[in-house]
A and B are shown apart, each in its own frame.
Chain A
Amino acid sequence: MKGLFIVSGLGILAMLAEIFKVKKVLLPMVLLGILGAYVANFMEWNNSLNIAAFGNMIAFDKVAIAFSGVILATAFFWFIMANDYFENDTNVTDHFALVLFALTGALMLTAFKNMTTLFLGVEIMSIPLYVLAASRKKNLASNEAGFKYLIMGSFASGFLLFGIALIYGATGSFDLMEIRAKISGTAPGMMPMFFYVGVVLLLIAMCFKVSAAPFHFWAPDVYQGSPTVITALMSTVVKTAAFAAILRLFLIGFGGVSELWTVILAGVIALSLVIANFSAAMQTNVKRMLAYSSISHAAFMLMVILANVRSNATLGALLYYSLAYSIGSIAGFAVVYNVTKKGDESFEAFNGLGKRNPFLAACMTIAMLSLAGIPVTAGFFAKYFVFTNMIGTHYKWLLILAVLTSAVGVYYYFKVIIAMYFKPAATEEPVASEMSVNMVILITSAITLVLGLVPGFVVDMFAF
């Protein structure tokens, strides 16, 4: 809870920084603030049960704290990485404030107890991102990305609101626990028809937010058009928050009507796996490829939800996946950001990186191996936990599909590795990278390996 206050306070401070001309200390201040938020967040770990605030609108229980931790850690690395992008920009304070507000929304999404908080969280997180996506004002692609994101995102918000309204109509409450009680108090299938419509609308809205197929059409364009650092933010922090929200919404709120949404979700996952992996394999632009890859990872995370088992293993699996994916992506995007500074975002930009900057190439290899799910990186265990969760359900065909498409996934991740080590570079000119960014890349790569070697300490977090 304190973490949420600190981050929103930081956002306001960042806006004030413009007035007081303290731009120089802005980054250290933000980093310290996030660190503080992280610590404050985990301080609540031991007495986290049953702390509800604002009339039971929001509660930072263990699940919320753990996911907030992932988000804050990712954000910390993200700020260091994005720093030199903002240095070239005059509006650094605005940007920092926007990102911090998006973070606030993300933190709310991990902890909502009430449909209104859910909606507020989604909007607080999304609106700054619309602006950030379009933040390269003179770039056509960036403007297109922002506009597209805004239109599509508004659609999703509309679905979300409509769904909430219908559910309110059927159950008479916005409160998750009350909705749950109402469902379990009614005989199966005896809720009013529009209740089920509401659940489906909510599912669609959330699938929009995590860009699962067939609601993914905005993702490739937005990922490609936005500045790389913003893309990194979207594919890590936003994803984690959205999944924390889905977990809460469907496993707690709508766990009682799972026959309805699991069927739809299974279709969504199957489509996402196939479309994302085959489309990614055909891309020539790295950022577009990563956009499709994020869709495929979304499908994997949705599989954990689909298993619909309310257990510590489920929580552990989703948390671990978010962490592994976020950390791996930050490392990957940081390298992409450095390599594509000249504007070329195709795979050719990576040619000969093994010679031009061996450090970046090695870290990119680790990131790609992790995203592809090769042992002993974090990405492998992430997939492993999904498999163990899924194999007990009767959606075994989905597992087979996941395995088949993962093999396709290796193709496009390895395309990057092959380009780096195997293709001759057009120039021998070394790729420069800043010390601070190097540190981020080094630390995130190291975490990727460490998480793979000792996955226990994340998974066992919920073993109480």
Chain B
Amino acid sequence: MLTGLLIVLPLVAGLLVFLVKGNGARTLALGASIAEFILSLVVFMQYKTNPNFNSLSLNCNWIQSLGIHFSVGIDGIGLLLVLLTTFLVPLIILSSFQTQYNKPNAFYGLILIMQMALVGVFTANDGFLFYVFWELALIPIYFICLLWGGDDRARITFKFFVYTLFGSLFMLLGLIYLYNHTAVGGGARSWAIQDLYNAGHSLNVNQQSAVFWMIFVAFAIKMPIFPLHTWQPDTYVTAPTQGTMLLSGIMLKMGTFGVIKWLLPMTPLALEKWGGVAIGLSVFGIVYASCIAIVQKDYKRLIAYSSIAHVGLIAAGILSANQQGIQGAVVQMLGHGVNVVGLFLIADILVRHTGTREIEKLGGIRNMNGQFAVLFLIILLGSVALPLTNGFIGEFLLLNGLYQYSAYMAAFAGLSVILGAVYMLRSYQSIMLGEKPNNAMEFGSLAVSDKVVLIVVCAAVIAFGVYPKPLNDLAEEGTKSIMMLMNK
């Protein structure tokens, strides 16, 4: 029931927000998203005390004759991502307070409906339902990017939409294929996740490989993994800041989460056969995106490429399919989600205060606003995975897991740490330190809403870096159950 409520609350709030005129919309949206966060904390507490608590899952018939259920529930990894979602959405809404959008009711309504779909993806226990939420998440973000994006948005958002839809349709085919094999032993066919797992295990290696690639393409596009990443930089840059935050902070995790929950346990044989290729692509993507990030002039685009590099490492860790790799990936998903939202807000603040995001045209901001410089630095250090920040644990576990798979791969992927430090620190140096490029440039104090978001993000960076235990335990436990499903 509680989980059902987690999905219904943002939906209802989103529809209500549509009806509100003017600035009331964003206040209502903020209130609803905070309520949702509190609700998710209740779920977290409930789960801590008793993971099998009845009210954490909901299962009712949707289309009986096809074995489709509206079945949602909480497991360790899903819970972490739900928490990430509910934690980030209020911050994302708050970060928009300094920008006046046309038709704020539609804008905030769409954000909340998007949140509904995201929570649905992370909690679905029915293959069909998962697919429906997966697709539903696409529609609000498409409209957010289309209606409030920057130049040339029609073409760019369209590319994004077609890319992802294309992947999803293949995933649908893969899932239907599994579904058709669920009737083993003469029973009725079913979309329940456990039945799909069993169906996957009953296939031979070639059938599993076909399913693996069909489903993997959808996830790889969403993350994105090289060479399916070409929609990403343009979309991130063109989307409004809040859209970019949703895309990179949360939506990207749909892909990585999907691989963990919906792919690894279904096709273990295919993973053994093709995992190496997929890891190779991921690792190549890390180095490739890092190199491109180094030469970027636009700060937002730089973060976009850094995001490809980070997610490449996460994917490689997951695909190495061992405890450390997957657990590290889960932890890193949380860390990356928080950090990237902070970084995109910083890019937005830079534009609002100085009118440009171009790294070379900025400089000496530290002398004008020391507070901003400190907050920026903390988030940045989290992003380059300094020990005692939230990025460190995840990256350490990921490289450890990847090393167990192959030392060479780990060596290559390790480059991301060095290259990441290069582009991140260099950009910081150029933007914040040194002399003002011209005397006309001013950088006043931060607005309250921006300050709140940055401080909360920084607090999360440090808190999670110093004391990761509660979340890390959940990740470890969730990973163990996935490993069990893979029969390892």
Residues of A within 8 A of B (CB): 369, 374-376, 380, 384, 387-388, 391-392, 399-400, 403-404, 406-407, 410-411, 414, 418, 421-422, 454-456, 459-460, 463
Known: A391-B180, A407-B169. A460 touches B131 (CB 8 A): no
- Chain-A contact segment, one of B57-65, B192-200, B456-464: B57-65
Question: Judging by beta carbons under 8 Å apart, are A422 and B147 in contact?
Answer: yes
Query: Can you add 20 more A-B contacts, CB < 8 Å, to A374-B165, A387-B176?
Result: A369-B139, A374-B135, A375-B131, A376-B132, A380-B135, A387-B173, A391-B173, A391-B177, A392-B180, A403-B170, A404-B166, A406-B165, A411-B162, A414-B161, A418-B158, A422-B147, A455-B63, A456-B62, A456-B65, A459-B63
In angstroms, Cα B179 to Cα A399, docked, is 16
B292 interface residue (CB < 8 Å to A)? no
CB-CB nearest in chain A for B170:
A403
Interface residues of B (CB under 8 A from A): 62-66, 131-132, 135-136, 138-139, 143, 146-147, 153-154, 158, 161-162, 165-166, 169-170, 172-173, 176-177, 179-180
- Are A384 and B172 within 8 A (Cβ)? yes
Q: Is there an interface contact between A388 and B135, defined as CB atoms closer than 8 Å?
A: no
Contacts A/B (CB < 8 Å), 7 sampled: A374-B138, A375-B132, A388-B66, A421-B147, A422-B147, A459-B65, A463-B65
CA distance A374 to B139 in the complex (A): 9
Query: Which A residues lie within 8 Å of B166 (CB)?
Result: 403-404, 407
Taking CB atoms, residues of chain B closer than 8 Å to A460 are 64-65
Looking at chain B's contact residues, is the secondary structure mostly helix, strand, loop, or mixed? helix
Contact of B136 with A375 in the complex, beta carbons under 8 Å? yes
Question: Is B161 touching A410 in the complex (CB atoms < 8 A)?
Answer: yes
Contacts of B179 in A (CB 8 A): 388
> When A and B form their complex, what is the total count of cross-chain residue pairs whose Cβ atoms lie within 8 Å?
70
CA of A391 to CA of B138, assembled, Å:
25
CA distance A400 to B65 in the complex (A): 26
B131 to chain A, nearest CB (A): 7
Taken together as a complex, chains A and B put the C-alpha atoms of A57 and B138 apart, in Å, by 51
Flag if B64 contacts A375 (CB, 8 Å): no
The minimal Cβ–Cβ distance linking B238 to chain A, given in whole angstroms, is 13
CB neighbours of B154 from chain A (8 A):
418, 422
Q: Are B173 and A407 in contact (CB under 8 A)?
A: no
Contact B173 A403 (CB under 8 A): yes
List chain B residues, Cβ under 8 A from A407: 162, 165-166, 169
Report the Cα distance A399→B132, complex, angstroms.
20
Residue numbers in B under 8 Å from A376 (CB-CB): 132, 136
Contact partner of B162 (CB less than 8 A), chosen from A374, A410, A463, is A410
Do B165 and A411 have beta carbons less than 8 Å apart? no
Q: In the complex the two chains form, what is the Cα distance from A400 to B165 in whole Å? A: 14
Which 5 pairs of residues, A with B, have the shortest CB-CB distance? A456-B63, A403-B169, A407-B166, A375-B135, A375-B132
Q: Which residues of B contact A455 (CB under 8 A)?
A: 63
Q: How far is the CA of A414 from the CA of B142 in the complex (A)?
A: 11
Q: How far is the CA of A27 from the CA of B173 in the complex (A)?
A: 46
- How many angstroms from the CA of A87 to the CA of B7 in the assembled complex? 48
The answer, among A388, A406, A463, for a CB contact under 8 Å with B169, is A406
* Contacting pair B180 A410 (CB below 8 A): no
The distance in angstroms between the C-alpha atoms of A421 and B170, with both chains bound, is 29
Neighbouring B residues of A421 by C-beta, 8 Å: 143, 146-147
Return B215 CB to nearest CB of chain A, in Å: 13
Given the known interface contacts A388-B180, A421-B146, A421-B147, the answer about A414 and B158 at a Cβ–Cβ threshold of 8 Å is yes
**How far does the Cβ of B145 sit from chain A's closest Cβ, in whole Å?**
11
**Cα A403 to Cα B172 with chains together (Å):** 10
A456 engages B173 (CB within 8 Å): no
Minimum CB–CB distance from B221 to chain A (whole Å) comes to: 12
